[in-house]
Chain A
Amino acid sequence: MEKFITLTDTAVPLETENVDTDQIIPARFLKATDKAGFGENLFRDWRYTQQGEPNTEFSLNDPSYKGTILVAGDNFGCGSSREHAAWALKAYGFKVVVSSYFADIFKGNALNNGLLPVQVSPPFLRKLFDYIKADPLGQITIDLDNQKILIEGTGEVEKFEIDPYKKTCMLNGYDDIDFLLSRLESIKKYEEKQFVL
């Protein structure tokens, strides 16, 4: 997995609440058997009209917004467990998703793919939306080591929480399989004494 330490970039706003994984990547694109190519179909039915034309009202199609940070409304990533949602966001080029709330499974999937979910307070999320809209070229910094998100243009900072184990994984590019494989002996011991189910 790619390491994540710190990132300063512009952001793309997606001011919708309860963005579910069916919107992030609709089910009809889940037929692939590898992880490649999901970026093209990210937010497919919001990015394109039913006739296949780009929907100019959707923020990802607005040429003034660019960057590797997605700032989204409350309860991002709810619904299906499809990890394809994290793959699609990553393949499109996002490295960070900021929201005031993340659904559990999505959060785990994102962390397992080096996509950092940053949970901020609702007032700070409001500030981020206002800042990006006022100045689409305004920079935002995410400092994982110090667990801080900074609005460069205004100097406003907020601390964010992350599981310490997951933080170590992100900072070093480790993943869970490596760790679990190192525990196989204790797993076998557990199996020997487990009440048989």
Chain B
Amino acid sequence: MNKTLFDKIWNSHVVESIPNGPDVLYIDKHLIHEVTSPQAFNELKERKISVFRPEKIVATADHNTPTLNQHLPVKDLLSRKQLKELTQNCEENDITLYGLGHPYNGIVHVMAPELGITQPGMTIVCGDSHTSTHGAFGTIAFGIGTSQVAQVFASQCLLVEKPKKMRVNVNGSLKKGVLPKDVILYIISKLGTNTGTGYFCEYAGNVFEEMSMEGRMTICNMSIEMGARGGLIAPDDITYNYVEGKEFAPKGEHFEKLKAYWKTLKTDKEAEFDKEYHLDAADIEPMVTYGTNPGMGIKLTGSIPISTGKSADKALEYMGFVPGESLLDRPVNWIFIGSCTNSRIEDFRVAASYIKGKRKAGNVNALIVPGSRQVAEQIKAEGLQDIFEEAGFTLRQPGCSACLAMNDDKIPAGEYCVSTSNRNFEGRQGQGARTILASPLTAAATAVAGKLTDFTKSLN
């Protein structure tokens, strides 16, 4: 008895445990995309083995896709070839693909939850480190390398050592203007980028209990940025209501039966964690990063800490900042609202509600990239597109876009970009680009002001 949510899901998926070794863990859903799957398909071909359970795999094209003119052939030849291989591999192996232009196409971590593919209690993997997103539903979801993609193709299982368990509790009331993105950036700034290495992290406390599913996805998404393989939040009514009625969610009696099981997926009161942290919601303010890893975060109105060593100096040099300075009033020429962290409808609603009736500053290029075709349709249906366009923002077609800049959506060298994505690594958004991670609200306010500004004063 006295098990954590994580233990309960893990234990029910262990096919067998190897003495002195890893567990053979069964995988319920395997999500794939064009960038990390081709070498895995090749591996199977070389070994002359077939995909074991193609019906448990769902594919999308997202990382390497253009966000303009998706109805035309992809211009970049290498990208086109990679997308073509994904299509061929899916056809040859009977795998469902929601390719470019399909109504269900989108960023893998946006489209799978909105279609009801992601459900509580599952094990989900994908060759992408932000697979941790799906933990928002109370699933064990984690990113894997291409060799492991091939292992799941071959056996629907993975050989993995059971990770350790940690819990982050955040209780109290959040201040006005503080979004889920600020909460997770705050957590990472307090705990550091490798506190979670070797762990799965459960998030608990009233802050997460009161959060929408989309907010919870933003939180779990960035678990990997503190090193944790995955994050998870216990499923509750908010979860069941979100899943119910989705395209591939269980229906009728099957749904009720599963819901009864999902209700058992909670950490028992006496269960123990290998480490545990308690944070106060009242301490959290809108956050921005100033360095080249997501742990280098400060409150928007704060100042850059005094140097902590060579690596911190190198980061500040890259960013063009000095210790002790405030980022307020720093001119910013680019903003990006998108990525698997913040490209769901609530992110665009909150941005649009701030932007409505205002215009972006003349110096700013404002890029809005929905996470999926469905989100794009909703942006139109709710009239948000008009608000963005009237304010001078550019609305693109869905994809990973400027989060990792594999396509043409790159931030020029030396320019600052206030970005709702998840990584501020050197060159992540383009060679020499300088990324400041923030919430969709901070990004919207930056676009209007043309600089980082304390927008909380103007919120009613």
By a beta-carbon cutoff of 8 Å, the part of chain A in contact with chain B is: 15-18, 20, 22-23, 26-28, 30-35, 45, 50, 73-75, 78-84, 86, 101-105, 108-109, 112-113, 163-165, 175-177, 179-181, 183-184, 186-187, 190-191, 194-195, 197
Query: Are A112 and B145 interface neighbours, CB within 8 A?
Result: yes
Query: Are B145 and A79 interface neighbours, CB within 8 A?
Result: no
Q: In the assembly, what is the distance between CA of A176 and CA of B153, in Å?
A: 12
Query: Are B129 and A105 interface neighbours, CB within 8 A?
Result: yes
Query: Are A165 and B82 interface neighbours, CB within 8 A?
Result: no
Query: Are A197 and B122 interface neighbours, CB within 8 A?
Result: yes
Across-interface contacts of A176 in B (CB, < 8 A) = 147-148, 151, 158-159
Partner of A33, one of B38, B310, B413, B427: B38
Query: Are A23 and B431 interface neighbours, CB within 8 A?
Result: no
* Chain B, residue nearest A74 (CB): B194
Q: In the assembly, what is the distance between CA of A78 and CA of B193, in Å?
A: 8
Query: Are A50 and B147 interface neighbours, CB within 8 A?
Result: no
Q: In the assembly, what is the distance between CA of A183 and CA of B163, in Å?
A: 22
Query: Are A164 and B21 interface neighbours, CB within 8 A?
Result: yes
A42: shortest Cβ distance to chain B, in Å?
14
* Chain A, residue nearest B47 (CB): A177
Query: Are A108 and B15 interface neighbours, CB within 8 A?
Result: no
| Residue with the greatest number of chain A CB neighbours at <10 A, chosen from B63, B309, B311 | B311
* 7 more CB-based (< 8 A) A-B contacts, given A23-B427, A86-B145, A176-B148: A16-B310, A17-B311, A28-B405, A33-B85, A177-B150, A179-B159, A197-B121
Kindly identify, within residues 143 to 161 of chain B, every residue whose CB is under 8 Å from any CB belonging to chain A: 143-148, 150-151, 154-159, 161
Kindly identify, within residues 261 to 312 of chain B, every residue whose CB is under 8 Å from any CB belonging to chain A: 261, 292-293, 309-311
Query: Are B20 and A164 interface neighbours, CB within 8 A?
Result: yes
Q: What are 22 of the A-B contact pairs (CB < 8 Å)?
A: A16-B311, A17-B311, A18-B311, A22-B426, A23-B427, A34-B42, A45-B426, A45-B431, A78-B227, A78-B293, A80-B423, A83-B146, A104-B229, A105-B129, A105-B145, A112-B147, A176-B158, A177-B151, A183-B15, A187-B24, A187-B157, A194-B26
Across-interface contacts of B171 in A (CB, < 8 A) = none
Partner of B22, one of A15, A81, A165, A186: A165
A31-B406, A33-B81, A75-B194 given as contacts; is B18 within 8 A of A177 (CB)?
A: no
Query: Are A83 and B121 interface neighbours, CB within 8 A?
Result: no
Across-interface contacts of A164 in B (CB, < 8 A) = 20-21
A22: shortest Cβ distance to chain B, in Å?
4
A18-B311, A22-B426 given as contacts; is B406 within 8 A of A184 (CB)?
A: no
* Chain A, residue nearest B77 (CB): A31
Q: In the assembly, what is the distance between CA of A164 and CA of B198, in Å?
A: 17
Across-interface contacts of B224 in A (CB, < 8 A) = 79
Q: In the assembly, what is the distance between CA of A30 and CA of B310, in Å?
A: 30
Query: Are A50 and B431 interface neighbours, CB within 8 A?
Result: yes
A175: shortest Cβ distance to chain B, in Å?
7
| Residue with the greatest number of chain B CB neighbours at <10 A, chosen from A78, A86, A175 | A78
Q: Which 4 pairs of residues, A with B, have the shortest CB-CB distance?
A: A165-B21, A112-B147, A109-B145, A33-B38
* Chain B, residue nearest A85 (CB): B145
Query: Are A33 and B406 interface neighbours, CB within 8 A?
Result: no
Query: Are A183 and B16 interface neighbours, CB within 8 A?
Result: yes
Query: Are A180 and B155 interface neighbours, CB within 8 A?
Result: yes
B235: shortest Cβ distance to chain A, in Å?
13
B437: shortest Cβ distance to chain A, in Å?
13
Interface residues of B toward A: which range? 35 or more
Query: Are B154 and A181 interface neighbours, CB within 8 A?
Result: yes
Query: Are B193 and A18 interface neighbours, CB within 8 A?
Result: yes
B308: shortest Cβ distance to chain A, in Å?
10
Across-interface contacts of A190 in B (CB, < 8 A) = 15, 26
- In the assembled complex, B441 has its CB within 8 A of some CB on chain A: no
Partner of A30, one of B20, B76, B406: B406
Q: In the assembly, what is the distance between CA of A18 and CA of B293, in Å?
A: 8
A18-B311, A101-B197, A176-B159 given as contacts; is B127 within 8 A of A81 (CB)?
A: yes
Query: Are B64 and A50 interface neighbours, CB within 8 A?
Result: no
Query: Are A187 and B26 interface neighbours, CB within 8 A?
Result: yes
Partner of A177, one of B21, B26, B154: B154
Q: In the assembly, what is the distance between CA of A112 and CA of B194, in Å?
A: 22
Query: Are B147 and A83 interface neighbours, CB within 8 A?
Result: yes
* Chain B, residue nearest A18 (CB): B293
B425: shortest Cβ distance to chain A, in Å?
4
Across-interface contacts of B156 in A (CB, < 8 A) = 187, 191
Q: In the assembly, what is the distance between CA of A35 and CA of B46, in Å?
A: 13
How does the 8 Å CB contact mask read for B294-332 relative to A, with 1 for contact and 0 for none? 000000000000000111001000000000000000000
- In the assembled complex, B28 has its CB within 8 A of some CB on chain A: yes
A45-B431, A187-B157 given as contacts; is B42 within 8 A of A108 (CB)?
A: no
A83-B145, A86-B145 given as contacts; is B155 within 8 A of A101 (CB)?
A: no
Query: Are B22 and A163 interface neighbours, CB within 8 A?
Result: yes
A55: shortest Cβ distance to chain B, in Å?
13
Across-interface contacts of B144 in A (CB, < 8 A) = 81, 105, 108
* Chain B, residue nearest A45 (CB): B427
Q: In the assembly, what is the distance between CA of A102 and CA of B155, in Å?
A: 27
A16-B311, A20-B425, A22-B425 given as contacts; is B405 within 8 A of A27 (CB)?
A: yes
Q: In the assembly, what is the distance between CA of A84 and CA of B37, in Å?
A: 11
- In the assembled complex, B352 has its CB within 8 A of some CB on chain A: no
Q: In the assembly, what is the distance between CA of A170 and CA of B456, in Å?
A: 55
Query: Are B432 and A50 interface neighbours, CB within 8 A?
Result: yes
Q: In the assembly, what is the distance between CA of A190 and CA of B52, in Å?
A: 14
Q: In the assembly, what is the distance between CA of A81 and CA of B78, in Å?
A: 21
- In the assembled complex, B212 has its CB within 8 A of some CB on chain A: no
Across-interface contacts of A22 in B (CB, < 8 A) = 404, 423, 425-428
Across-interface contacts of A32 in B (CB, < 8 A) = 78, 82
Query: Are B21 and A163 interface neighbours, CB within 8 A?
Result: yes
Across-interface contacts of A86 in B (CB, < 8 A) = 145
Across-interface contacts of A191 in B (CB, < 8 A) = 26, 156
